[in-house]
């Protein structure tokens, strides 16, 4: 068995769903289990409906619900067999009636709780997975729909639930293999449920996580993440068009890249796969012939020091000083207690005897945090920063990498640097305005020559020159 996950852009229309059906049909003999995201921007549209409801804009949310139903009906009817149309209409009627009643309840309460967010946002995957199941039948495959909420079990932490792995794996191993013997199993990503059956979600981007959980639970031979890019690239194409495809990378490297902003993969994805030693492939649903990126437990030998450059944007830098804490123990504990109380995670830390610099990517509670810190220190904040992260297994074995970074970035102000916490990366902070020249300079420095066993050169950048125009489909 293999697990194949398709993102929102891969199932956003009838044409896209037909493309997905062709990809799955070509691998039907491998007994695929298909995990799909909501169609297009459906999750955002559902949350907009909820926002209109709690703000009392009744005509607005009713219109948006009708538009969303029309969108799903219009695209689905093009790929659903005639014999299934009546069933499709009944399903859509049931789902949207249920959604309408839920939204009306929100309008009465005037409040959107985390539990309500999960209930509302779950409809995207509930709709897409059923529609894709019917479409697969239309295109000549036996297909069975499985509600992910029956098999992916989590705690009660709504909007960012943590899976109960033993129970989830038990249910997956019991339910899926017999179904996969006879048909393609189709599930919605992102959605789950508590033991009591209350709908939860795994957080935005959680469909990747679902695919990894399912793969680990059924002992899949591989997990395929089908997206709209050719795989992992040497640089984020939205910042630097023209990066090279990374053919192979280790789980540890992929995890670092995902955490530090590589949007092609959800940060949690690799954990279940890594624990079960299941290879993960990143592939392009619009260019299925491209080999993509293969993520495995063991790193492939590589002549390049760096595998890729990741960037995490909208970073807030907090500098904390206190001469009163010179030679005093407990300074760091007091600082991190403050961030813990406000449930604000810290990405990077640099310390000296009387000062600490750290970064956060969620500044929602920053004013309250600063007020607490001022009781024992002098905090200062810098907004609009970016963490730039160089990732590669060879960084730990290669002397002089930091020197090459500083020489390449001559003239660019580095506000903070971290090396040593992870042996796989060098991370530093620059201003948002310096992001593109920073990535350009580092890309020239570390990818002017490429190991052909690990990288597929983008011909538009042969010779090290960066040209305009995105390279991904």
Split at pLDDT 50, 70, 90, the class of 324 is low
- Verify that 219 and 341 share a domain, yes or no: no
Calculate mean pLDDT across residues 406-419: 90
Residue 325 lies in a domain: yes
381: phi then psi, degrees, rounded to nearest 5:
-125, 140
469 vs 461: CA distance, rounded Å: 11
Calculate mean pLDDT across residues 439-464: 84
pLDDT averaged over every residue in the chain? 91
- Verify that 331 and 220 share a domain, yes or no: no
- Asked whether the beta carbons of 206 and 187 are under 8 A apart, the reply is no
Q: What is the residue range of 382's domain?
A: 308-464
Task: Inform me whether the pLDDT recorded for 164 exceeds 90.
Answer: yes
pLDDT in the model for residue 420? 63
pLDDT in the model for residue 256? 87
Residue 288 lies in a domain: no
Split at pLDDT 50, 70, 90, the class of 423 is confident
- Verify that 221 and 312 share a domain, yes or no: no
What SS3 class is residue 79? coil
Specify the number of domains making up the chain: 2
Residue 341: which CATH number?
A: 3.30.2130.10
- Asked whether the beta carbons of 446 and 403 are under 8 A apart, the reply is no
Higher pLDDT, 72 or 422: 72
Split at pLDDT 50, 70, 90, the class of 328 is low
Entry field: residues in the chain: 473
pLDDT digits (tens, 9 = 90+) for 118-132: 999 999 999 999 999
pLDDT digits (tens, 9 = 90+) for 23-36: 999 999 999 999 99
Split at pLDDT 50, 70, 90, the class of 290 is very high
- Verify that 74 and 204 share a domain, yes or no: yes
Residue 391 lies in a domain: yes
12 vs 366: CA distance, rounded Å: 37
Distances (CA, A) of 54 to 44, 47, 95, 109: 16, 11, 20, 7
**How buried is residue 106: exposed, middle or buried, by Cβ count under 10 Å (0-12/13-18/19+)?**
buried
Dihedral, CA of residue 186, residue 189, residue 194 and residue 197, to nearest 10? -40
Calculate mean pLDDT across residues 62-75: 97
Q: Which residues contact 15 (CB under 8 A, 6 or more apart)?
A: none
pLDDT digits (tens, 9 = 90+) for 244-262: 999 999 998 998 888 787 7
Task: Tell me the two tokens of residue 165.
Answer: 């792995």
Residue 136 lies in a domain: yes
Continuous segment of H or E residues that includes residue 381: strand 378-391
- Verify that 14 and 163 share a domain, yes or no: yes
Q: Which of 191, 210, 227 is the last residue of a domain?
A: 227
pLDDT in the model for residue 462? 44
Calculate mean pLDDT across residues 102-128: 95
- Verify that 93 and 209 share a domain, yes or no: yes
466 vs 242: CA distance, rounded Å: 6
Residue 414 lies in a domain: yes
- Asked whether the beta carbons of 35 and 67 are under 8 A apart, the reply is no
Calculate mean pLDDT across residues 156-182: 96
Residue 56: which CATH number?
A: 3.40.1160.10
Split at pLDDT 50, 70, 90, the class of 325 is low
pLDDT in the model for residue 421? 58
> Of the given ranges (31-40, 292-301, 317-326, 435-444), which has the lowest mean pLDDT?
317-326
- Verify that 51 and 180 share a domain, yes or no: yes
The reported pTM is 0.87
27 vs 285: CA distance, rounded Å: 13
182: phi then psi, degrees, rounded to nearest 5:
-110, -20
Residue 268 lies in a domain: no
- Verify that 202 and 330 share a domain, yes or no: no
Split at pLDDT 50, 70, 90, the class of 472 is very low
Task: Inform me whether the pLDDT recorded for 467 exceeds 60.
Answer: no
Residue 303 lies in a domain: no
Q: Which of 227, 261, 290 is the last residue of a domain?
A: 227
340 vs 345: CA distance, rounded Å: 7
- Exposure string over 33-67, b if 16+ CB within 10 A, otherwise e: bbbbbbbbebbebbeebbbbbbeeeeeebbebbee
355 DSSP β-pair partners:
321
- Asked whether the beta carbons of 275 and 355 are under 8 A apart, the reply is no
Q: Which of 206, 227, 248 is the last residue of a domain?
A: 227
Residue 282 lies in a domain: no
- Verify that 51 and 173 share a domain, yes or no: yes
pLDDT in the model for residue 205? 74
């Amino acid at each position: 068995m293999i697990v194949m996950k398709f993102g929102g852009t891969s199932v956003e229309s009838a044409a896209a769903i037909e493309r997905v059906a062709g990809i799955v049909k070509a691998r039907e003999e491998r007994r695929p289990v298909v995990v799909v995201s909501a169609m297009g921007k459906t999750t955002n549209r559902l949350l907009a409906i909820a926002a209109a409801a709690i703000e009392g804009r009744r005509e607005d949310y009713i219109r948006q619900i009708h538009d969303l139903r029309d969108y799903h009906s219009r695209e689905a009817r093009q790929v659903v067999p005639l014999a299934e149309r009546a069933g499709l209409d009944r399903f859509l009627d049931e789902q949207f009636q249920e959604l309408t009643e839920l939204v009306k309840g929100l309008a009465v309460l005037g409040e959107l709780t985390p539990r309500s967010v999960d209930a509302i946002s779950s409809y995207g995957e509930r709709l897409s997975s059923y529609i894709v199941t019917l479409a697969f039948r239309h295109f000549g495959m036996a297909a069975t729909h499985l509600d992910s909420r029956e098999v992916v079990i989590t705690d009660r932490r709504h909007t960012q639930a943590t899976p109960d792995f033993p129970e989830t794996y038990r249910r997956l191993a019991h339910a899926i293999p017999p179904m996969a013997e006879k048909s393609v199993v189709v599930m919605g990503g992102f959605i789950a449920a508590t033991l009591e059956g209350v709908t939860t979600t795994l957080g935005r981007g959680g469909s990747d996580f679902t695919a990894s959980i399912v793969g680990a639970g059924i002992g899949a031979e591989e997990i395929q993440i089908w997206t709209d890019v050719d795989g992992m690239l040497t640089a984020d194409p939205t910042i630097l068009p023209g990066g090279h495809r990374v053919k192979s990378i280790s789980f540890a490297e992929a995890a670092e890249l995902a955490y530090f902003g590589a949007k092609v993969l959800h940060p949690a994805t690799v954990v279940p796969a890594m624990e079960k030693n299941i290879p993960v492939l990143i592939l392009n649903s619009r260019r299925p012939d491209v080999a993509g990126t293969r993520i495995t437990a063991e790193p492939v030998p590589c002549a390049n020091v760096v595998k890729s450059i990741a960037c995490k944007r909208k970073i807030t830098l907090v500098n904390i000083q206190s001469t009163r804490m010179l030679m005093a123990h407990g300074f760091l504990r007091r600082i991190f207690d403050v961030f813990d109380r406000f449930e604000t995670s810290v990405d990077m830390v640099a310390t000296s005897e009387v000062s600490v610099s750290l970064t956060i990517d969620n500044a929602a509670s920053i004013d309250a945090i600063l007020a607490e810190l001022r009781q024992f220190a002098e905090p200062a904040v810098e907004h609009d920063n970016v963490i730039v992260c160089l990732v590669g297994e060879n960084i730990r074995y290669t002397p002089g990498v930091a020197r090459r970074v500083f020489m390449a970035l001559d003239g660019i102000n580095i506000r903070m640097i971290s090396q040593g916490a992870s042996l796989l990366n060098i991370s530093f902070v620059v201003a948002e305005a310096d992001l593109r020249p920073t990535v350009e300079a580092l890309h020239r420095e570390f990818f002017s020559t490429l190991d052909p066993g690990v990288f597929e050169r983008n011909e538009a950048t042969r010779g090290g020159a960066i040209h305009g125009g995105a390279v991904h489909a």
